[in-house]
Amino acid sequence: MALPVLVEGRSGSGKTFALKNFKPDELGVISVEKGRLPFRSELKVIRIPKWSGGEQQNYGQVNAAKYAWVENMIRKATVKSIAIDDSQYLLANELFDRAYEKGFDKYTQMAVNFRNLIHFVNDLEDDDKIVYFLHHSETDSDGREKCKTIGKMLDEKLTIEGCFDIVLYCQDHKFFTQSNGISTAKSPEGMFDLEIPNDLKAVDVAIRDYYGMNNND
């Protein structure tokens, strides 16, 4: 199965910049919101296509199509590493697209869509594929930094970080690999130092060495 990795942090903390040391034949970038990288690079950025809700304004189907497109791009990618930047906009954009829908069923569908994307990666047969979810963080009621979401169902019924074996917290252009009580960072014993540079290429190499995956070289 493939490996999803969560990279969370505030806007401007250095999450996307961490992709800088990848070569174009090593990493594919799926951009949910932006079309450019914050550094000079030959990395190819593919944006999610825009769909219209049509006359019936069925944005539930539109957003399901967006998730299906992302899954298809991950499935057929020939590179071993993929970054979804910024993954929280999958949730936020669907929330705005469906803002005028009444009822709470839409929140359930939003949560299911995002959860299913993580499960899709976990269930892929590509044992050497790593998918990085670059995701904004927010402060919870206890003062800890957690994944930014759009409702109580994801926060209370499904802890997003619990779907990942590796969660890196990005702050001031550094990665924290274990929780210090402020973040929800975590990683397997001995994989990383507690604080490392925000270099996802180096992270990628360390993960592949730790699990005996084919190196992305």
> Residue ranges of the domains in the chain?
3-211
What are 162's two structure tokens?
Answer: 């619990």
pLDDT score of 56: 47
Q: What's the 3-state SS for 65-95? A: HHHHHHHHHHHHCCCCEEEEECCHHHHHHHH
Q: Indicate the residue type of 168.
A: L
CATH number, span 3-211: 3.40.50
Q: Tell me the mean pLDDT in the region 81-96.
A: 93
Which residues are 135's β-sheet partners?
8
Reported as a pLDDT band with limits 50, 70 and 90, residue 99 is confident
Structure tokens that stand for 125 in this block: 């047969």
Output the DSSP codes for 12-69.
Answer: TSSTGGGGTT--TTTEEEEESS-SS-SS-----EEEPPP---TTTT-HHHHHHHHHHH
Q: If pLDDT is split at 50, 70 and 90, which confidence band does 57 have?
A: low
What is the rounded average pLDDT for all residues in the chain? 90
| Residue-level pLDDT at 106 | 84
Condensed to tens digits (0 to 9), the pLDDT of residues 36-53 reads 899 999 999 999 887 655
Q: Tens digit of pLDDT for each residue in 104-133?
A: 888 888 888 999 999 999 999 999 999 999
